[in-house]
A and B are shown apart, each in its own frame.
Chain A
Amino acid sequence: MRVNGRNNLALGASAVLSFSLLAATAGFADDKSKDNDAADAVKTESPIKHVIILIGENRGTDHTFGVYKPRGKHQTISNILSKGIVNQDGSPGPNFSLAQQFSVAAQPAFYIGAPKNAKTVYNSNGQMPQPNTNGTPTAQGTTGAPFTPAFLALAAGLDPSPDFNANTDTILTTGFSNLATNSLDSRIPNAGVLPNGPFILQGPNISDDDYTGDTTHRFYQAWQQSDCSTANATKDNPTGCLNDLFPFVMATYDLNDSVVPAVQKNFSEGNSMGFYDAEQEQASLLKTLADRFSLNDNFHQSFQGGTGANHFMLGTGDAGFWSDGNGNPITPPASQVANPKPVAGTTNKYTADNNFSNCSDFTQPGVAPIVSYLEALPYRPQPNCAPAHYYMLDNTNPGFYPNGFRAPSPAAQNMIPPSPVRTIGDALNDKKISWAYFGGSYNDAVALSNDAVTAGIAGTLNSSTALGEAALADPKHSLGVAYCQICNPFQYATSIMGDANQRAAHIKDTVDLLADIQADTLPSVSFGKPDGLLDGHPQSSKIDLFEAYVQQVLDALEAHPRLKAETVVFITWDEAGGYWDSGFIQPIDFFGDGPRIPLLTLSEYSTGGTVNHTYADHVSLLKFIERNWKLKPLTDRSRDNLPNPKMRDDQPYVPRNMPALSDLFDLFDFDHRVNQPFLE
């Protein structure tokens, strides 16, 4: 294994005289309009020679486009406005009760379909758990976002990270709450007495430029929130997911109400019901892109829960599992195994909110309700749980550090051992098709990893903690803590991360994505992930910061018309972040699907403000790549084996041949090319 050892006293002396190796990569040359593009030579099924997949954090379809009216001729959309749940100004609409939420009386066992007689609807006068600031920044910070203006310049000077630019400089200083953490978010109009249903995140004191409280988004919580039961099934909703326990689960899964006073350790409360109004200039860049290109309103997070598992599915079409590091499944330490069974005497406090389950074993905690539900569905989806495999359900750092250092005792450090699961990167390698994962602040994370290795803490601490410790000792590279390890599916993979040549060729920084566009050396397939400052995650980032990241990439492409003409940019999210959504959910296996997330498709062949309804999820992006570059499904169990949906005429959101996933080709009209700017 090769590890870069920047601070090792025993290393070559010449290296330590150079302090600005990264800075040397920051400058871009002018476009020379020459075609150096190796990807052009690769045969593809469509005119698309490059795909860029940009992934934001934690925004759902109704949360972002709930109040959006398509601009394309005769286009329709399924959202809370079209359903009459809210009016165009975000106020409760005539069908507001369709979104009403419930509480559930204490049950003896974990459930995903709450017994009807145990459910109680919240009243319309603030009984529903109300929005909470949770961890929202109270004030501007000296080194944490939102920065004071003076310190923004200082932070910008840390390194050549593209985080700090004309698009972000102002909005990285704004949006603090002026409220205490873990308190009622009184910036939201009527907070405290909000009626039972979705509420608009807009008012004199709040907009899409404000940090807001996060809401938990974990596997068992998400299944429980979805409230799925075949007993609830209807013609339009044949899988029977009611999505009506969102605030309840947030308010109870970590509430010990068996004691007086009750002990609450989670403050998500009612945050899941917040949404933005795109018709009132919220998320305005995303709206403009939807107006000019194509939006899919039936695209889903592929995994119930959070970031790590969804990105893993995006890269593999599968779930990761605990292994011996050599590809063989083994049982993880008991401290890693989840048990969502309610603690006796509490309403719904989970016994052990951990990250792994052996879903092949009906007797394992939490497994039976989900598998039983799948078996009861008319299309009987397989759980896809291999025997004796403990699958990663929630965020767990990879067994590799960003520099390739392999954690010697991942179990002791809450890290998953290196994964043998085949990735799309492996498939592209086999066909010698170029690809890269561009992670924001990756270069700094490598520097911090080198520090941690040198200091000896990489072998003893979880990698997040170790990078934090390293950042305190190496402030110059401190932005490396904002690089998202669990967002990079290839960082889990032995085949990629355990090979120094593979790492060097394929794992890069945002600055490299911009440089590749500039130099006309963009790979055929690119994944772009902003760092934690710009990823749009509530509480730690904002929607407009993710928009700024997107704009930076689009601006770079706009300057290179030849490259732009043969590139599709997909913009999507890792998951809905725990935000409530009114859309149909197609359970595919034990792991998902979950709620809808937006998918924007930007290309010269997907214009006009169209809205596509074909059922899709993250794995559809894999299917697009595989079809365009003529690859086979990754494995015999990966989700990319599923057929394309045959959509019902009478219900355009429900496939007739479930389970099924689109390969997204029907988002394009390759006979109709429109050359237009990304943004007006």
Chain B
Amino acid sequence: MTHTLRALIAVNVLLTLSIGAFAQSPAHEFSADIVSRDAAGAIVGASAKLHVANHKVRIDPADGSGEFFITDDQAGTALFVRPAQRLFMDAGQSSTLTQIFVNVDLHDPCRQWQAAALVARTPVTGPWQCERIKSDSASNPHAIEYSVQAPRQAISRSWINPGLNFPILWQASDGTKLALENIRIGPQPPGLFAVPAEYRKFDPAALIERIKHSDVWAGPPNR
């Protein structure tokens, strides 16, 4: 059994102890660490931080920059916030994490992943494919495993916790993994999920238009 799966079992045992009330409650709030592991199960780098409050997700990357992402699957938004510059912008494809760690329907998770990809402005050239895999009850009794294939990409695997309706492990095609660990069920401060009102939004469209007036831009029509 790999380190990852041992950790996953431990996570789920803890979850099972506390999930009962949660599963029956409309409240859906928890936090966790996003831990990166290599194919052998060893931890790679520092952990990112995840906060979930119902339809909102906040991810604080591992780089210590203070920057963070807020997604809202009801509003269909994913924002990248840079406190040092007091600005925010559409996250777009700035981070794959915002496209992986989203609230999902246990029975049809591809719908939410595809929606997150659309929010990220990833061109959809075909439907996502999610195939439920028979659970390995010995190693992972409380997660539903899916084989996931985004258009034109290799097959990944994801384990979804049925109590959280949330992915707790993502395994890329090369065997590396992103795992939620130290999951703590409980209310999250609302301020974590709000962009301060004084922050301004950055939109690169004007920058692109200015550059079109230079020789840097050699797209058609040619000038």
Given known A-B contacts A11-B174, A19-B63, A540-B210, A475 and B89 have beta carbons under 8 A apart:
yes
1/0 per residue B66-98: CB within 8 Å of A? 010000000000001010111101101111110
Distance in Å from the Cβ of A596 to the closest Cβ of chain B? 19
Cα distance A135–B211 when bound, in Å?
11
A394: chain B residues within 8 A (beta carbon): 222
A498: chain B residues within 8 A (beta carbon): none
Asked if B219 and A464 sit within 8 Å, CB to CB, the answer is: yes
Q: Which DSSP category, helix, strand, loop or mixed, fits chain A's interface?
A: loop
1/0 per residue B90-120: CB within 8 Å of A? 1011111101100000000000000000001
Question: Of A10, A153, A354, A471, which contacts B204 at CB under 8 A?
Answer: A471
B67: chain A residues within 8 A (beta carbon): 19
Distance in Å from the Cβ of B213 to the closest Cβ of chain A? 4
B178: chain A residues within 8 A (beta carbon): 13, 16-17
Given known A-B contacts A57-B215, A394-B222, A10 and B153 have beta carbons under 8 A apart:
yes
Is A537 part of the binding interface, using a Cβ–Cβ cutoff of 8 Å? yes
B150: chain A residues within 8 A (beta carbon): 9-10
Looking at the complex, which of B23-31, B40-48, B159-167 is the stretch in contact with chain A? B40-48
Distance in Å from the Cβ of A662 to the closest Cβ of chain B? 26
Is A624 part of the binding interface, using a Cβ–Cβ cutoff of 8 Å? no
Is A588 part of the binding interface, using a Cβ–Cβ cutoff of 8 Å? no
Asked if A19 and B65 sit within 8 Å, CB to CB, the answer is: yes
Asked if B173 and A10 sit within 8 Å, CB to CB, the answer is: yes
Is B38 part of the binding interface, using a Cβ–Cβ cutoff of 8 Å? yes
1/0 per residue A465-477: CB within 8 Å of B? 1001011111111
Question: Of B37, B65, B207, which contacts A143 at CB under 8 A?
Answer: B207
Interface size on A, residues (CB 8 A): 80
Cα distance A142–B89 when bound, in Å?
13
Cα distance A445–B207 when bound, in Å?
14
B122: chain A residues within 8 A (beta carbon): 454-455, 473
Q: Which DSSP category, helix, strand, loop or mixed, fits chain B's interface?
A: loop
Is A141 part of the binding interface, using a Cβ–Cβ cutoff of 8 Å? yes
B214: chain A residues within 8 A (beta carbon): 57, 482, 532, 535, 537, 539-541
B45: chain A residues within 8 A (beta carbon): 14, 17-18
Is A616 part of the binding interface, using a Cβ–Cβ cutoff of 8 Å? no
Question: Of B65, B99, B176, which contacts A14 at CB under 8 A?
Answer: B176
1/0 per residue B199-223: CB within 8 Å of A? 0101111111111011111111011
B99: chain A residues within 8 A (beta carbon): 9
Is A355 part of the binding interface, using a Cβ–Cβ cutoff of 8 Å? yes
Given known A-B contacts A9-B172, A455-B123, A479-B207, A395 and B222 have beta carbons under 8 A apart:
yes
Question: Of B34, B121, B125, B218, which contacts A464 at CB under 8 A?
Answer: B218
Given contacts A8-B96, A456-B123, A532-B215, 11 further A-B contacts (CB under 8 A): A9-B99, A14-B45, A18-B63, A19-B65, A141-B206, A354-B222, A472-B205, A475-B80, A475-B90, A483-B216, A485-B216
Question: What are the nearest 9 A-B pairs in CB distance?
Answer: A157-B85, A464-B219, A540-B214, A478-B204, A144-B206, A473-B121, A144-B210, A10-B154, A473-B92
